[in-house]
Amino acid sequence: MNTSSSPPPARHRSPSSVPKWITIVFLVLSGLYMAVGGGWLIAVGGSPYYVVAGVAMLVIAWLVWRANGLALWLYAALLLGTLIWAIVESGFDFWALAPRLDVLVIVGIWMVLPFVLRIFTWPRQSGALALGATIVLSGIALAYAVFNDPQELDGTVRAAPSAAATAPAQQDGDWRAYGNTQTGTRYSQLAQINAGNAHELKEAWRFRTGDMKGPNDPVEITDEVTPLAIDGTLFFCTPHQNAIALDGATGKEKWRFDPKLKPDPSFQHVTCRGVSYYETPAAEQARAAGNTTNLPMCARRIVLPVNDGRLFELDAASGKPCPEFATNGVLDLQHLQPVKTPGQYEPTSPPIVTSKVIVVAGAVTDNYGTREPSGVIRGFDVNTGKLLWAFDPGAHDPNAIPDDQHSYTQNSPNSWAPAAYDAKLDLVYLPMGVTTPDIWGGNRTPDQERYASGLLALNASTGKLAWFYQTVHHDLWDMDLPAQPTIADIRDQSGNIVPAIYAPAKTGNIFVLDRRTGKPIVPAPEQPVPQGAAKGDRLSPTQPFSQLTFRPAKNLTDADMWGATMYDQLMCRVIFHRLKYEGPFTPPSEQGTLVFPGNLGMFEWGGLAVDTDRRIAIANPIALPFVSKLVPRGPGNPIDPPQAGQAGTGTEVGIQPQYGVPYGVELNPFLSPLRLPCKQPAWGYVAALDLDTNKVIWKKRIGTTRDASPIPVPFRMGMPMLGGPMTTAGHVFFIGATQDDYLRAFSTDTGEKLWEARLPAGGQATPMTYEANGKQYVLIAAGGHGSFLTKLGDYVIAYALPDKH
């Protein structure tokens, strides 16, 4: 009988070879995991792929045990099917394809290695060719995805400057306020460093403050400071609010003032974003005459907020307290507070300073309880510290000042982020937070909600309300305005110049308002949002959605879940389906709610950088979901706070008590069992916005995994950020912020990376630029961020071009 075309009889070899057993064990364990986990996923409403793949792996394992070459054909079919499924689910996005394919491709390569391949009988050669072809095809798809990133957008900023009138930038080489000016643009007209030479930047000097985390500090100790630069001298504060003055050209210390802050682990923050500057009329006249030295003491002043509720005015020349201000230079901000526990009311951002008034606001501990300090905003005489006015956002009459037998309203909404100021209108613009507890609001009064989670405009001289625009109604997600708003003039649809203010929100929306009236310039229509409040709470049926936005274009699905491998990706899919999620503003729940954009927000305190000459904004949104889970009262979760002990948790994540309401809350990033984000990258990017058209011009991933993974491999995935950008007339912008420790320079025109410098610690501070002795410097504070898990340090580092420039 002719049997040349028939397969040879199967030979029952003893499965004793090491490669064979390695292959079998891997396939059996993987197949069981995928089949069981995939069945769970189907049960909660997810993709059937994992069950199919798991069963296929078990069959392949049996064929390998039989030494049957059909195992190669079936594995090739599994890999090809996975490739097709992956592309259908996620397109040609490399970081979305990688966890779906990485393990299967590696094992496929293993199976065609000669010492493994020899264990198979018929049809070994054809099976090896088929598997090899699918491996090559997978490699081609991955390579194509590397160079065709669907999450990035290429474009070029218009070349010609816009002709519109603009908010003024700082005209000289100074950086006189947190955002360069109090308009909050983070834009400098210095152009010695430009897109053509930024790659030549070198470290000019570095300074170490000596202010490091101590044993009594909370987790949330952060270095978020942006220094001031005035007449060649730098002024800044450290995390423990030491005020320091340095020579801007050399980095040499001129003076230091220590306010003797005594934090404890219950402080939710130990941080200082900056100091403010004030010149008396005599000093202004002297400057106009060219005299910036030999001035009387305290003719020029540094205003220093301290986390325990004090405010200092210091002589800018010596660092000594100004004796005529308040009580020997220090003002007690705890006066008339209903709760005076240190650390529960914290001024963390530099105040607005006008020619007459210091406007002071502060943070209140999130989610501690229903008896906390007031978020009152106050105006003090800039020379004497006398209280001129108050605006208590939770009071029936916000401008009422209580007598010494009463206090401001407890738990009124607070304004913790930096404010902006329009000197022509004499209006101060305050980004407002929510009445705490943040994640349950059934007990909030109409007065407590009236000025919460929105942009508040007050007359800086009187404290009277000009207008208020609410960006989130009945906020149960801590979706406050987290950043300094930015003042810029733009053209409306009719071509008229309109004085605008830009308010970036945690939701990813950028609200664009007429800063005279608070009326939207860019429409922000109310849209229906998910319902189903927790017991005893309520929800707004609609929320405003600005048409200028970086918010997600669509709701997350299990196809957006991620992992380093298919194994943790499967678990993320299961977790996703077990959470409550119906899109933005899904209400908090005992089940656990997926909050996306997450509690960090798409925008955080870094804000926008706006080139007011060309009306281009640089943004650095992040996309990291959180999980919010309401915890009912019971053993270990009392409704009342302890009589003694810490008055806070020292962090904004984990279990938060929310004393006085029916639930505590657990807040955490949405992470896999391997502690990786469950949402696929990018988690952070930089982008340019045309403020005339409200269009994104370009968008690029930023940041690598170098300092955020056990293996320091710099994969450019687009990392989460804390901190903001700074841009210049040289068409270059600078940003640290990412979880890898770098300061980077990019072309404002195209988003191309021009330069980067390795930092000795996390760069979660917004950089600034200034001129000293005719040279432009770029400076960043590199001190890290405790809860963001970047390396802590105490560095201030300046960069400049080599002297040939």
Whole-angstrom distance, CA of residue 222 vs CA of residue 601: 18
Question: For residue 421, what are its two tokens?
Answer: 């100021």
CA distances from 91 to 79, 85, 629, 719 (A): 16, 10, 32, 21
Task: Please spell the DSSP secondary structure of 88-115, one letter per residue.
Answer: HHH-S-HHHHHHHHHHHHHHHHHHTSHH
At 719, give phi and psi (nearest 5°).
-100, 155
Nearest of 724, 703, 547 to residue 619 by alpha carbon: 724
Q: Is 478 a catalytic residue?
A: yes
CA-based radius of gyration for the chain: 29
* Separation of first and last alpha carbons in the chain: 90
Residues 6+ apart with CB under 8 A from 43: none
Whole-angstrom distance, CA of residue 35 vs CA of residue 27: 12
DSSP collapsed to 3 states, 32-48? HHHHHHHHHHHHCCCCC
Whole-angstrom distance, CA of residue 241 vs CA of residue 587: 38
Residues 6+ apart with CB under 8 A from 332: 309, 310, 326
Which member of 217, 438, 478, 611 is catalytic? 478
How far is CA 308 from its chain centroid? Answer: 25
Calculate ∠ Cα 181-184-186, nearest 5°: 80
Query: Do the Cβ atoms of 422 and 369 come closer than 8 Å?
Result: no
Query: Do the Cβ atoms of 369 and 660 come closer than 8 Å?
Result: yes
Residues 6+ apart with CB under 8 A from 554: none
**Side chain identity, residue 661:** V
Nearest of 669, 722, 668, 665 to residue 436 by alpha carbon: 665
Query: Do the Cβ atoms of 656 and 368 come closer than 8 Å?
Result: yes
- Name residue, tokens 């264990």: 119
Residues 6+ apart with CB under 8 A from 486: 179, 183, 184, 185, 186, 420, 501, 502, 607, 608, 610, 617
Whole-angstrom distance, CA of residue 370 vs CA of residue 780: 38
CA distances from 124 to 13, 108, 117, 131 (A): 15, 14, 7, 10
Query: Do the Cβ atoms of 327 and 334 come closer than 8 Å?
Result: no
Query: Do the Cβ atoms of 412 and 374 come closer than 8 Å?
Result: yes
Active site residues: 478
